[in-house]
Structure 1
Amino acid sequence: MGTPHTGYDPDLHARRAAAFGAAAAEYAEHRPDYPADAAAWALEPAGPGPLHVLDLAAGTGKLSRPLVALGHRVTAVEPDEAMLAELRRHVPEATALAGSAERIPLPDASVDAVVVGQAIHWFDQAVALPEIARVLRPGGPLATLSNAEDEGVEWVAGLAKVSPTQASFTDWANRPGRRIEPHPAFSATENADFPHAQRRTAESLIATVATHSHILVMEPAEREAAKERIRAYLRSRPETCAGAFDLPLLTRVQRCVRAAG
């Protein structure tokens, strides 16, 4: 699973990992997408394409969609049936398969690139990285993409203080378990950040936060209290109290390359 961070609770981690299916439709509606320039940078080591790209732990297809728009052939693998159903509905151009990072339903050396959107922290990397290396052609990139709220913006930093979810912190993608761990099948990693934004209202931002696993596993009363704290904060800010606004995001990309042999 990588190096567990301080306070790591394996039972809670498992509950959170299994929580998304019940909110699959809300996830598809409210989670942000990924910018095309971030996806293009992730794939750059593979060459100009078009490529066969594996979107691993693809969820509802938030990353599959820009990959298809860039002209690539996409195979999307997702373990949760409800998430997979939303993926097939929203990105019919992708080939959607049931599977996981630890058991990928593809032949050896069959894809040009592997990408992971907001999901590597759910992997058992000791098992997943050799399995990814198995299906990835030598020289092909493995890349993770993670959206984080941009706390360099003052009101967003304030939101992070009242939100119970880690997804608001700009160092989210660099925490233990949320990055590609060193492995002999892959080169050293490199990183890049891409500015991004999502158009939201106070209520749709609360709906977005409500799809985060921290919220999904709360007891109902605790969940409603957390949402009300966020609602009160957004009502108090001039940037967010009157209609739609842009939520500033950073898309953090980490990539490495499959070694030869």
Structure 2
Amino acid sequence: MAPVEGLRHASSFGAAATAYAEHRPDYAQAAVRWALEPAPGLRVLDLGAGTGKLTATLVAVGADVTAVEPDPAMLTELRRALPDVRALPGSAEAIPLPDASVDVVLAGNAMHWFDMAVAGPEIARVLAPGGIMAGLWNVVDDRADWVAGLARVSGSAAIGPRDTPASWRVATATAHLPKNDVAARFGAPEQAEFPHGQRRTADSLLATLATRAGMLVMEDPDRDATLGRIRAFLTSRPETANGEFTLPMLTCVLRVRRL
């Protein structure tokens, strides 16, 4: 993705902050625990925290969380939902925390937006020795036949790179990690996947897909056509045509230790 286009996608979420908070899924607790388990402590930075989807899961597993989010609308939603969490304006490229002040830096569906040439040194700076950096992504599990069909009719704007298990494994194998000399401060990356799911109806799944960056930056006629195509598919499938269903998902984790 070109830098200007990437910036446009990354900055698209604020206008849909309320919908994002309502419709985006949380993260599998087992995935969060795996990301945390080798860390020297539980001082956790949720970087690019959005509306607090990952933050809430971290609170639930007992972490001492600081959330950092660059978008004011997203940060407002996070503070409304989690008033007891320390939530600060900032970005991966300019983290408003002291050196070696956290044991873990996590990013939920956000690390692919970071400029790692700048963010890598910042993350290394705030991490204590032995600390963990990890990205978490919720992906749809296209091993289910109807989910594979949904991915085909949705197009890359709604279900794109990193949004299915196989594409996630390839996309994160070498990307989204510190670059150049900063990479030498980190060990070998590890990947893991954990079962997850989200209760949806056809309408609420459409609302979820409408919060994807590629959808948010579409022209209205194109977005309406894409959503119409998805709706027609969902109403044609016995798994999704009537009432609530579980959207099969995985929470996928890319983890690396600071040396």
| Residues 172 and 178 in structure 1, CA contact (< 8 A), matched pair in contact too | no
Q: Please list every run of 5 or more consecutive structure 1 residues that lacks an aligned counterpart in the other structure.
A: 1-7
| Residues 125 and 181 in structure 1, CA contact (< 8 A), matched pair in contact too | yes
SS of residue in 2 equivalent to 1:230: helix
Tell me the residue number matched to 2:255.
255
Residue type of the partner of 1:86? E
Query: Partners in 2 of 1:40 and 1:147 — Cα distance?
Result: 15
Q: How big is each residue's C-alpha offset from its partner over 1:17-40, in whole Å with a ceiling of 9 and x where there is no partner?
A: 110000000000000100111100
Match of 2:98 among 107, 110, 122: 107
Identity %: 58
Q: How big is each residue's C-alpha offset from its partner over 1:110-167, in whole Å with a ceiling of 9 and x where there is no partner?
A: 0011101001111000111110000000001101100000011100000000113206
Residue type of the partner of 2:166? D
| Residues 215 and 223 in structure 1, CA contact (< 8 A), matched pair in contact too | yes
Give 1:10 deviation, angstroms. 2.2
Gap change, CA 1:247 and 1:84, over 3 Å in 2: same
Tell me the residue number matched to 2:7.
14
| Residues 148 and 172 in structure 1, CA contact (< 8 A), matched pair in contact too | no
Q: Please list every run of 5 or more consecutive structure 2 residues that lacks an aligned counterpart in the other structure.
A: none
Give TM-score scaled by structure 2 length.
0.93
SS of residue in 2 equivalent to 1:139: strand
| Residues 114 and 176 in structure 2, CA contact (< 8 A), matched pair in contact too | no
Q: Does 1:238 align with 2:233?
A: no
Gap change, CA 1:151 and 1:231, over 3 Å in 2: same
Tell me the residue number matched to 1:5.
none
Give 1:90 deviation, angstroms. 1.2
Match of 2:80 among 84, 89, 94: 89
| Residues 92 and 123 in structure 2, CA contact (< 8 A), matched pair in contact too | yes
Query: Partners in 2 of 1:124 and 1:71 — Cα distance?
Result: 30
SS of residue in 2 equivalent to 1:226: helix
Tell me the residue number matched to 2:69.
78
Tell me the residue number matched to 2:199.
199
| Residues 116 and 176 in structure 2, CA contact (< 8 A), matched pair in contact too | no
Matches within 5 A, 1:153-172: 153-164=144-155, 165=158, 166=160, 168-172=163-167
Residue type of the partner of 1:54? L
Tell me the residue number matched to 1:136.
127
Q: How many residues end up aligned between the 2 structures?
A: 250
Matches within 5 A, 1:206-221: 206-221=206-221
| Residues 197 and 249 in structure 1, CA contact (< 8 A), matched pair in contact too | yes
Q: Does 1:39 align with 2:32?
A: yes
| Residues 148 and 249 in structure 1, CA contact (< 8 A), matched pair in contact too | yes
| Residues 107 and 135 in structure 1, CA contact (< 8 A), matched pair in contact too | yes
Query: Partners in 2 of 1:229 and 1:178 — Cα distance?
Result: 32
Residue type of the partner of 2:239? E
SS of residue in 2 equivalent to 1:26: helix
Tell me the residue number matched to 1:152.
143
Give 1:11 deviation, angstroms. 2.1
Tell me the residue number matched to 1:3.
none
